[in-house]
Structure 1
């Protein structure tokens, strides 16, 4: 029985190998990146990231503390935080009726020297997504777009200040994930079927 399970898992992974070279429709936003440093290609993945200045009209920019920088890739080093207002939103141009995997990354990194533990909510327009309540967090959701624009909003819920480091969108074939009545699929957990000891990312992504 165990051999059958291993065979099935291996077969599924082989069927769903991603064509890593196809980045059509990718949106990679390095939040807080100065416009004069945009765009750039990361050394680990080669993907191009752009500043968030064209996607948001509020907030202030920051950078994680230097002692944490060696632990993270370039897009995570900068961030945008929102000390003013309750609700601050990113406005993204997307393609209607497409499955998007949306990833938001939050690494506090003591950017404000306050040794804080921020907690706040994340929304799609008026719809609640998730509460961000811990450092070094990546939230993922698969969402079917209902128009050509998408809002990702950070909502203040207490005394701490919302922030975000990276916002990424990946269009997916509709056959990969079936969403209930055009809704969304939130990530519960991920199983890594490998003993390689390192994470698989673009350009070495395997989806299963």
Structure 2
């Protein structure tokens, strides 16, 4: 099993598995579906294989109607709040494929950000991939804007790119949104991946 396979299995543990469009807990909230898959705009939603309740493929207009219905609702609610008997849905096969495609797309930029990535224990690779899935790879800082996504984790990245990698420091620096209770278990799990990596790397 590769780290990509392992992360595809892990993601629904944290992100859930919803076959409809809902809003996440960010401020402002993002349209989301499947296993935490960001649907950035209507165009992106119209690229997904949505189905009507009777099983027929949804048209672009029907996708737009469902998009507008959900986007008009308040954010930061339980996912089921956004479900509608007349709403659209994805098939489980398509949800799983969407997740794995998203994780696979992280592989190349992760190798750029961490040149020694292939030498890391798999538990560390999975921990990093999980951070990237939730945070995004992001962009490095410039004179006009701060770093975003995983690029903003400067101490974590420095530890990962040290020789040898400092997995214990990575465990200290990997936390996401410390003040949000939804991340408590996920942060603890991520810390455990890097602590385990420090043991395997000895």
Normalising by the smaller structure, the TM-score range is under 0.3
Query: Which is richer in helix?
Result: 2
Which structure is higher in RCO with an 8 Å CA cutoff and minimum separation 6?
Answer: 1
TM-score (norm: length of structure 2): 0.23
